[in-house]
Amino acid sequence: MAEPVRLAVAGPLGHPIAIGAGLLDRLPEECAAADLAPPRRILLVADRAVRPVAERIAARLAAAGHSVSTAWLEASEARKDLGTLEAIWAAALAARLTRRDAFLALGGGMVGDVVGFAAATYLRGLALIACPTTLLAMVDASTGGKTGINLPLPGTPGELGKNLAGSFHPPRFVIVDPEVLTTLPEREFRSGLAECLKHAILDGDGHLAWLEAHAAAIFRRDPETLADLLARSVAVKAGVVGRDPFERGERAHLNLGHTFGHALETLPELHLTHGEAVALGCLAAAAAGGNAELAARVERLARALGLPVRLPAPLDRAAFDRRLGFDKKADSAGVRLVLPRAPGRIELVPATVAAIDAGLAAIDPARPAS
Ligand SMILES: NC(=O)c1ccc[n+]([C@@H]2O[C@H](COP(=O)([O-])OP(=O)(O)OC[C@H]3O[C@@H](n4cnc5c(N)ncnc54)[C@H](O)[C@@H]3O)[C@@H](O)[C@H]2O)c1
Ligand SMILES: [Zn+2]
């Protein structure tokens, strides 16, 4: 096996991240290196979709002298709730986890967020080992220490407000093993690629050029190219979080594509995944930023990565504007847009009607391809 790439987030939310094919099979060694030498009690909370991987990991940890209990989750936004959090706390009690023990989250961002919150709160905070299994969780959710659950919104018929309860709780360490991506459904894979596209725009010309050169190999899920992609993409998020852990400035750049994206994602008639909405949002933001060359480049790259570049149906503009107004990331001055003026040159500006119009025009289904 090739040597893993080792990265780290600096600062108060700091943690190491190891990236490499086959790394999950070396979990006991990684635990020992992170001050979790056996014997520990480990509560493995796993997405049922990766059951064979979970069983393999549990056997390895047990063979190394750990005492492993396993709890299974169904990954869905509806289940990222208080009931699931309580069930994980109950499993931790049943497994008799103590302060020297650990939670292990194996799954996508849903599992990572809710298990992370359980780890943050159980006995006022236990070690969390994060093993992301979706591309989105690998390049985004598992890095940076944000955990949380959704809460029911008062006055609605069971609608959930996203990530309304949570805390910052960095993992003890993160293992990113591209081998688990082989079973990830195509649409989930492409969804994660949108965050990689976002990271490339934030990072600059070199990163964009690398993505352009490797789009076809990425799309084929060539293992070596994937490992390279993961290392590049995780490095961008890790760098930003290290420089601005609590979102006083630069961390807001990670919302690139997400202001437009969140509003589009919540319009039910568009049937967009998070990543599809983010890809459209990145293109809209590039157009709104006024750099036509960059917008054309983002459009070509999104296309090459199998991501949409036009809305699947005409937009109900009034509904879109309402959703935009509900953006919880908006401050008191109103909605703000993260605009790329050039690769790697990002500005956070108050939204104007002109900027939103320019962004939406770029993804209008009636617009010819660039
Ligand atoms: N904490 C953060 O900083 C942060 C950042 C971004 C997103 N998030 C959160 O992440 C969540 C979305 O994460 P996601 O996109 O990973 O979704 P997810 O966890 O719901 O997983 C998506 C689907 O893929 C399946 N799956 C997972 N791994 C698989 C594999 N290897 N093979 C086959 N199927 C697999 C799951 O069962 C699920 O059906 C949201 O709740 C979002 O709020 C958190
Ligand atoms: Zn996102």
Instruction: Quote helix, strand, coil % in the chain, to nearest 5.
Output: 50, 20, 30
Q: 264: CA distance to ligand 1 center in Å? A: 19
Full-model pTM: 0.96
3-class DSSP assignment, residue 277 = helix
- Report yes or no: 188 and 136 within 8 Å, Cβ to Cβ: yes
Q: 99: CA distance to ligand 2 center in Å? A: 32
Sequence-separated (6 or more) residues with CB below 8 Å from residue 366: 314
Sequence-separated (6 or more) residues with CB below 8 Å from residue 321: none
The one-digit pLDDT tens for each residue of the chain (370 residues) are 679 999 999 999 999 999 999 999 999 999 999 999 999 999 999 999 999 999 999 999 999 999 999 999 999 999 999 999 999 999 999 999 999 999 999 999 999 999 999 999 999 999 999 999 999 999 999 999 999 999 999 998 888 999 999 999 999 999 999 999 999 999 999 999 999 999 999 999 999 999 999 999 998 999 899 999 999 999 999 999 999 999 999 999 999 999 999 999 999 999 999 999 999 999 999 999 999 999 999 999 999 999 999 999 999 998 998 888 844 444 434 789 999 999 999 999 999 889 999 999 999 999 887 6
- Ligand number nearest CA of 276 is 2
Q: How would you classify the pairing of strands 67-73 and 41-47?
A: parallel
Q: Output DSSP code: residue 140.
A: I
Q: Output DSSP code: residue 368.
A: P
Q: 109: CA distance to ligand 1 center in Å? A: 4
> Does the beta carbon of 141 lie inside 6 Å of ligand 1?
yes
Atom of ligand 1 nearest to the CA of 144: 3
Rounded Cα distance between 157 and 100, Å, is: 42
Q: Hey, which of 134, 149, 256 would you mutate to test ligand 1's pocket, going by the most ligand atoms within 8 Å of its Cβ?
A: 134
- Report yes or no: 97 and 43 within 8 Å, Cβ to Cβ: yes
3-class DSSP assignment, residue 15 = strand
Q: Residue type for 265, please?
A: E
- Report yes or no: 125 and 144 within 8 Å, Cβ to Cβ: no
